[in-house]
Structure 1
């Protein structure tokens, strides 16, 4: 055997390899530690958020001869550091923006280079971290050169030399044409509550929305004292009126003020529902609300003060208001449909034009952007047989932006843009009535909405008119473009229609089916409301929740499933439980049918199930056999024979021979008791006879002894 030294061979190689591995790992760690700060230095600090900068000319950007140009500037610093002060240069173009396209281009994202003349400079002081600063500068007319400008719209540009480089903001000023023909203007403003998933606002929601700072209160205060044409959602007065005497005082006051306004008005569809989707879904005419009976409580209409109907006669109960009384908005200008901007094209307008309630032609309010006209479109128009009101899309979009902007400087810029587009419309159609809108919006402040309305009604050379005056104009013929429908909304509406068909059939179990169908229709119209636009995810959740609630309603009345039953006689009633989870009593018919001829059952059983409880129903059952297994199929139906709930099969064990067996057993028991009684009586009598001789012997001995005793006593 050859011996190997411990220091030689493979055994010695292992510690050397382990040492090298540990050294390599240590070097890698050191390199990583060195490389990490180098990489951080190479990457540099995270990018700073960009500064914000905006310019807005005051007075809607309208500057006449001899007037100073007042410009407001604002800058915001979203970074964590203070930003140094920077100079701002304001420049004006001497060449008017002659067309809408040039105006669009200047106010758009890709602004073209134009020759500009600097007219003023100012400084925006340093900005604290996450701070903002606003400054206003007045530029004399001599400096601006406005006195020498012809009427028109002129570009205005502010350049801010900030710490992050030059920032620019573009706007326009309008030099009015004093010699232009006077023209009219009408501005339409919606009064809506925004997105809702329930049919009507609750008392708590009304209390919040009509209180100071609530959106409904702000909308009403914004239109008060203006010449705005009001487009009112009839679900708002309905929500207040259904509460009767329990309505929040702030809501009652709000409604009284709304009805007292002298403004022209028309009703939107209930819930401001999407009209274009309804037509695209195949409806011949828009959905109408059904009676709102389920929202009414007679206890809230005991008096006369809160009832929207005429006072009842003395001594009579106060009547509940009907749908017309609940949804009334005051004197209306007629049936006017207002689809959401950009959703209704030629097909929708044609279908809506065929709707003629009470024989009067309806009108559809559409933006000029869906017409094929290149310039301004008269406010009163006709497309085929459809009567139209056409509002200027560019002016309305600028007004909508102004109403939705809380910052005063960007709002001023939007107002200046609205005035500029209105000037362009007047140049394209001199003397024509201009119709504009301050479109739908959520949570707009009173000040912003009022400023937008004031801009529209205060445009130079235009006088605000009522809606009836607009309708009196001679309509111009226009052509409309096609607009693709919203596929998701159309699909949701079709699903709602399928559900409503089921609910309508189901509701026949009620004395007043509108208790269910009225609430369903109101909720569907709210879910189709234009207030949900821009909230696609939340809207999808609301639709799913509503459809789940519909299935819960359809399952609210059913036969309670129980175990199998046993029939111990040839005939007996069987009891079944009917569940009613609705808030109202229902009338039903329980249909019973055996699956073979061994049972004869009562075919129909009327059932009056009370609200929110289980009710028992008895079904007479007869057996034709002594014993066996059978099944009875049960189905609930409405009085009009509409199937309610799922059918239920109940197993029945027939034990009719037990009845005969029981009689025999009872007869045997009775006979046995009788025999037992007879035997017991006989035995008792025999015992008495056997005991009789012994008693006689005793009797013979007993008198003798007595006589002897008597004789002894006598002696």
Structure 2
């Protein structure tokens, strides 16, 4: 959806693309013999045994060449080594792949390999070659084949000595058809075809300029995380391998600024491997130019009727959590770790040249600080193939005065060997669509056999282009895929093949100026994708309006813009389902989050007292941590709201906000609850709460409590006085008894006791 439908290659090219096999499905190759010899009365032969899995079971159906995708078919394919390039005194080596897709065993036989006597006249002749046609030309070798069981396949290496090849120094340079006929009982069971390229040191070789995009996986985050960067840039990581692959080759790097910003925005917490890799990229001697941020497709912007391309407004959503040097482009002075605490301040050490990345400072870096790079040439607007409309050209020219990049498949009338053309008055760098597709096959190959096959097809197409071109100066431009490569090591063999003496010479990109006129064929961004992206554009200002829901409002605004640009990336072209999911997430954050913060319904609240807090329950069903302001609006004069309350809610949680109020009168009333952002923007949700106010009960209870305290105090005083009187009476009696005892010589204890008792009673 994100790209126009990819032009379908001719059937022959498609058949060649299907030859790659999966290395994981193969285990043991037994009893293979390779024989080379001169073709005389009988061709040389070779024998082989079927490839089996580790458990001894023959391999099942595999993706092969012509006819292999059909049921009840047999197939044979040839894959030439070394890109199919042949020079003086060089043997022809390769691999035969035979497959039995029928339900019956195919008996033992042989494969006859034949080379044609003349090269293909041009590209059209090569792409329209009939692979099923009977072989003609010189038979080079016969390779003995074993019986192949139903559903089985066999790989057989072969070699033809240089002395057996029908080429001489005077032979025409070009791509020659190489045919294979699978013979069983002298009957042809299957036919296959590939090409080889005969080259000469004196041949006029075309120039080939190769654009190598330096991009990273889109990932699930707006910028790449520290862990992702460490995995990509460590020894053996994909980005590390990519720089290894282009080293020593004359190529032009097209660099995504998102990659640079992802490293620098981490400040002192950027992984050491990422900083070192950035130093290596900076010190590279390759020509380079910047892609649009996130390699965004500019025609998506033009056809969305934007007056200017989208650019980042900042990276505060990442950079605010990290520390930086005064110059974010200088080498960091600390050894950061991907697992470091994002909020921690790194300790400094003596400067060491460990990588271009931020160090420590209190200042926030600008967009330019985090994306700056010393490119050797100005950026070029590079729309996705097939998406350029004629109305886009003036806008693209104004956005990119240095020129645009156009695929040859969308042009008509431009010479095949012209790297630059004038398209609608705009200077355009023309990439060769056919060679670009074949280069993609090579770098996406899953194993060595598939890569050799793709490279061989590419070199043959280059040779056929040269053969059919009458211009004295042929210059072709090849662009590698604009997505992160699973195996960047495949790039090196491709570049090696394109830089062969007699075939082609790697060259710098030409200046994008002048060139013959060419007509732009109609193109457009897919209607469904364009409609969806326009909805995303409309959602951005909504998200900006509610940015203060989040802890870092400035960072939230920055992230919305950068994510919107990321959603225009060319890398989504091969992953439309994931693009739909990412677009839905963007809409959910911008327009969905405000609707998912609601006031919870509850029962009537009993409010007792004059000044008290009224509880309000708020629910957050979004995926984000948010902060809202809860404000109450009384519908009668029973209540006075003292002040709003601010509350923070974690994702998918609810919380209680305590809003201070003052009761004015008793009775039942309703309170309207509204939610706003911290800067006062209303949220869609509101609610009503029924409140039963009993303000006087507080006074009654207070007086009851005071009365109780007074009664308790009085009762305590009474008991204290009574206790004191009782003590005094007892002391008086004892004194009287003592006096009576003294006045009589022998007083009766009993009478004294009686007297005391009588006195007490009285």
Match of 1:137 in 2: 160
Partner residue of 2:480?
438
Matched residues in 1 for 2:710 and 2:403: separation? 96
- Pick aligned residue for 2:197 from 173, 181, 192: 173
The CA distance in 2 between the partners of 1:445 and 1:334, in whole Å, is: 29
SS for the counterpart of 1:336 is coil
Distance of aligned partners of 1:178 and 1:349 in 2 relative to their CA distance in 1, 3 Å threshold: farther
Q: Is the 8 A contact 1:627 1:655 kept in 2?
A: yes
| Equivalent residue in structure 1 for 2:114, among 67, 82, 90 | 90
Q: Label 1:685 to 1:203 Cα distance change in 2 as closer, same or farther (>3 A).
A: closer
- Separation in 1 of the partners of 2:501 and 2:392? 32
Structure 2 distance, partners of 1:707, 1:61, is 150
User: For the Cα contact (< 8 Å) 2:462–2:503, is it kept in 1?
Assistant: no
Bigger drift between 97-106 and 51-60 goes to 51-60
Partner of 1:331: 375
Q: CA deviation at 1:244?
A: 4.1
Q: Deviations over 1:313-369 (max 9, x none)?
A: xxxx4655443333344324112222333333434444322215xxxx243211111
Preserved contact between residue 635 and residue 669 of structure 2 (Cα < 8 Å): no
Moved more, 550-559 or 82-91: 550-559
CA offsets 1:106-161 (integer angstroms, 9 cap, x no match): 2xxx55969942242231543775542222324548x5255555555554433333
2:695 aligned with 1:643: no
Distance change in 2, residues 1:91/1:278 (3 Å): same
Q: Does 1:417 align with 2:440?
A: no
User: Could you tell me how far 1:539 is from its partner in structure 2?
Assistant: 4.2
Offset at residue 372 of structure 1 (A): 1.9
Return the alpha-carbon distance in structure 1 between the equivalents of residues 111 and 625 of structure 2: 76
Gap regions ≥5 residues in structure 2: 1-69, 324-343, 747-762
Match of 2:215 in 1: 192
Identify if the C-alpha distance between structure 1 residues 601 and 460 changes in structure 2 by more than 3 Å, giving closer, same or farther. Answer: same
Aligned counterpart for 2:246 among listed residues 193, 201, 223: 223
* Pick aligned residue for 2:399 from 314, 337, 355: 355
d(CA) in 1 for partners of 2:126, 2:166: 20
Secondary structure in 1 aligned to 2:383?
coil
Please list the CA deviations of residues 412-452 of structure 1 after superposition, one character each: whole Å capped at 9, or x if unmatched. Answer: 4323333225415743x432543222233554544531122
Report how many residues are paired: 640
Classify 1:653/1:539 alpha carbon distance in 2 versus 1 (closer, same or farther; 3 Å).
same
Q: 1:424 to 1:309 in 2, by over 3 A?
A: same
Tell me: CA distance 1:162–1:500, structure 2 relative to 1, closer, same or farther (3 Å).
Answer: farther
Deviation string 1:561-593 (CA, Å, 9 cap, x unpaired) is 766433323444445577899999987544321
Q: Normalized per residue, which structure has more helix?
A: 1
**Structure 1 pair 555/124, CA: closer, same or farther in 2 (3 Å)?**
farther
* 1:264 corresponds to: 287
Select between 258-267 and 585-594 the one with higher mean Cα deviation: 585-594
Alpha-carbon distance in 2 for matches of 1:354, 1:48: 54
Mapped contact 2:181–2:192 kept (Cα < 8 A): yes
Instruction: Please state whether the residue corresponding to 1:168 is helix, strand or coil.
Output: strand
Counterpart Cα distance in 2 of 1:570 and 1:206:
59
CA contact (8 A) 2:605 2:690 kept: yes
Q: Secondary structure at the match of 1:262?
A: coil
> In the alignment, is the contact (CA less than 8 A) between 1:336 and 1:362 conserved in 2?
yes
Whole-Å separation in 1 of the counterparts to 2:141 and 2:177? 17
1:489-568 correspondence runs (5 A): 489-509=529-549, 512-544=552-584, 554=594, 564-568=604-608
Aligned 1:32-47 pairs, distance under 5 A: none
Structure 1 residues 510 and 332 mapped into 2: Cα distance closer, same or farther (>3 Å)?
Answer: farther
Aligned to 1:105: 128
Q: How does 1:42-441 map to 2 (within 5 A)?
A: 50=73, 52-57=75-80, 60-61=83-84, 70=92, 72-77=94-99, 84-94=108-118, 97-106=120-129, 116-126=136-146, 130-140=153-163, 144=166, 149-150=171-172, 153-161=175-183, 165-171=189-195, 173=197, 178=202, 184-296=207-319, 297-298=322-323, 299=344, 301-303=346-348, 308=356, 317=361, 319=363, 321-356=365-400, 361-373=401-413, 375-376=415-416, 378-384=418-424, 386-405=426-445, 406=447, 407=449, 408-423=451-466, 426-427=469-470, 429-440=471-482
User: How far has the Cα of 1:203 moved from its partner?
Assistant: 3.3
Aligned in 2, Cα 1:513/1:73: closer, same or farther, shift over 3 Å?
same
Structure 1 residues 657 and 301 mapped into 2: Cα distance closer, same or farther (>3 Å)? same
Counterpart of 1:655 (choices 688, 694, 712) is: 694
| Cα displacement (A) at 1:666 | 5.2
Seen in structure 2, the aligned counterparts of structure 1 residues 124 and 394 have a Cα distance that, compared at 3 Å, is farther
Residue 311 of structure 1 deviates from its aligned partner by 6.8
User: What's the CA shift for 1:191?
Assistant: 1.9
What secondary structure is seen at the aligned counterpart in 2 of 1:431? coil
Corresponding residue SS for 1:629: strand
Q: Does the CA contact (< 8 Å) of 1:234 and 1:267 recur in 2? A: yes
- Deviations for 1:30-76, whole angstroms, at most 9, x for unmatched residues? xxxxxxxxxxxxxxxxx987555333455655557x56673524214
- Give secondary structure in 2 for the equivalent of 1:283: coil
Retained in 2: the 8 A contact 1:58–1:412?
no
Change over 3 Å in CA distance of 1:368–1:131 after alignment to 2: same
Contact 2:630-2:673 at 8 Å conserved across structures: no
Partner Cα separation in structure 2 for residue 124 and residue 409 of structure 1: 23
Gaps of 5+ in 1: 1-46, 711-715
> Residue 193 of structure 1: SS of its match in structure 2?
coil
